[in-house]
Structure 1
Amino acid sequence: MSDRHLCTLLSLYVLCALCSLLTAAHGLTDEQKEFQKVAFDFAANEMAPHMAEWDQKEIFPVETMRKAAQLGFGGIYVQPDVGGSGLSRLDTSVIFEALSTGCVSTTAYISIHNMCAWMIDTFGNNEQREKFCPDLCSMEKFASYCLTEPGSGSDAASLLTSAQRKGDHYILNGSKAFISGGGDTDVYVVMCRTGSKGPKGISCVVVEKGTPGLSFGKKEQKVGWNSQPTRAVIFEDCAVPVTNRLGEEGQGFSIAMKGLNGGRINIASCSLGAAHACVQLARDHLLVRKQFGETLSNNQFLQFKLAEMATKLVASRLLVREAATALQENRSDAVSLCSMAKLFATDECFNICNQALQMHGGYGYLKDYAVQQFVRDIRVHQILEGTNEVMRMIISRNLLTES
């Protein structure tokens, strides 16, 4: 056998070995592997065939998401007594990674919806849980998370939306920016100021669509995440019953941050799914695309690049799953690990997707090829749920204050 033939066989062996790595099932229980398989199948059959159309026509795929809810994906970590699946944070990460291989944008919205449902389930009283959670878990109704404002992004504790109490209602005035699902969703989990400046003056209320004084801005035109609408949410003398407040007055910022710890795991998991899909797309392209008389899979530089991509994907996945476990167990290092996972996975997975596009050459820049959509859809993951600069602040602060 010639050296060239041996090199070809070795390169094919390496590329095929990547298939095993990319199953993403290593270390999972049989039950988790079943959740994963259901999610992968749903992504392949119900999402991937429509991903480009949803992106180009900016379609919010309500019926597809309701099909996902029938599989238990509308309230994955919500308690079963109000319609949730009662699964763990690790289970949730596995599911969101698998779903994102079919459409990152849609899965990312589902992850935000799940976060809102969990917040109501966890911090609401029984009446609130029974009122809101069943319809959210079935996705008969959809939810949006409202923290960011035009003047307060990373500095969320400086938010200005006010909630003045008058009798048995709060009168809300102000606006929220960049709200996923805004205008198309039914339930808005809103952080508003009921007290003095700073985080201790913030409360959390649930505002229902149709409430007088609630309106929405224009639909934003975005680089990615086009299967979910994004609008400003505006409150003008919007009267919300005090009975819609989650927890006590002044607990809102704490509730928001606890929601975001899980949200960071969720969005990191969505990045894993995009990277997972892009490594597969790159591998398949290298095996069929010919240049200089042979397939690109014989090019050692590209072999090494693919190996680096797969390594970074597996490393990111391990960190995300460790953080998910820490959050589930309420460990003391959970906040730092959630921040590390979000920082590392969203940065590395974007680089993986971007490298996959580069491997496609000019074809990667065409909208006929899915790789470009994965790149566009996960770029924002480095910004939302706390920017990656804020993640570095959280991690370093915790390191510097350890006793």
Structure 2
Amino acid sequence: MTAAPTNADLAVDETPAKPGGNGSRRFSINLRQSGIYIAFVVIVLLFTILTGGDMLAPQNISNIIVQNSYILILAIGMILVIIAGHIDLSVGSVVAVTGAIAAKLMVDQHVAWPVALIITLLAGALIGAWQGYWVAYFGIPAFIVTLAGMLLFRALTMMVLSNQGIGPIPDAVRTLSNGFTDGYLGNVGLGPLGGADLLSLLVGLGAVVGIVVVQWRSRAGRLRYGQAVEPVPVFVAKIVVASVAVMFLIVQLARFRNLPWVLVLLAILTLAYSVLTNRAVFGRQIYAVGGNVQAANLSGVKVKSVIFWIFVNMGVLSALAGIIFAGRLNQANSTAGNQFELDAIAAAFIGGAAVQGGVGKVVGAITGGLIMGVINNGMNLIGAPSERVMLVKGAVLLAAVAFDVWTKRRAGASR
């Protein structure tokens, strides 16, 4: 059974030391696992230079997160679908129809917003169950089922809205989409950087502590089982780089308007789904199904059930993205979610998902989505026309998939 990858993001290939621990070690950066993060840093630095530093301005960083939040939510669900060896082309239309349902309930039917959101999420689950049934139990390829769903749910959106926009969305929902946490503990001085929200800074420090603890436990666990680990200097450098990046992000957000609520939501989702894929039995079963469905069957994995539930999960996350998007626009309309499926799929593949399935990480999908967001934002800041933006995004997607294929061929040739 293929297990979920648990290596650190900046993993290394090593020749294990000889017994006794006195052997020499040879290590190099594993581009298959670390390439996406290196590429992300390079792209950010490139646009920082091209924009004269505007890319890393506090307000712009906040805008990138808020403007791409719904794509990142979709990417989390899409990476699970792709790991299992399937695809979902309907998520953009599901975003539209669930956003329309939420707006119809809250605005036209005057349903309390918490109840409306629960009903909308349930509607997303039913949509996912509908598609999951045809894929898992009826045996129709997911490409065909979700292609049909793309048309069906776009038509339902028009029917629900009667080809008209519905708004305005209640303030509570708009706050989740566009709002920021309050400065509950006040601001503190940061010298030449000005003031920053103390609570946000404490959250950043907590995240750094979490990174250190998780990476330390992962390394200790690998050592207990006699597995190869990176040398201590590389391990420390990896933690330092990750910690500095997190604190830089938090400080910049704290200097602007504190943490966006969608960032808090994304952090919770990323943590939860990372635990699911790395630690939970169901997560390992997803990798097993995508890696070798026949072997998974022989190992006792209920393949049909796994496939069914990943589509249910995709429906729920699409509904959540639909609520966020409707709140951001302050209305639901029939064109919402247009081409979102392409961005979500691109985020998953750029983030390291394998075309054949069985490989991928939630954090990688988030990074892939951020790469797409940074490209969009950076190209807009330098005044590039829309056709050039699409050209660059297409080239990046092709390069990511080509790199995945190349590394697999190289690994196969070296055996």
Q: Say yes or no: TM over 0.5.
A: no
| Structure showing greater relative contact order (alpha-carbon pairs closer than 8 Å, 6 or more residues apart) | 2
Give the structure with the higher percent strand: 1
Higher helix share: 2
* TM-score normalised by L of structure 2: 0.28
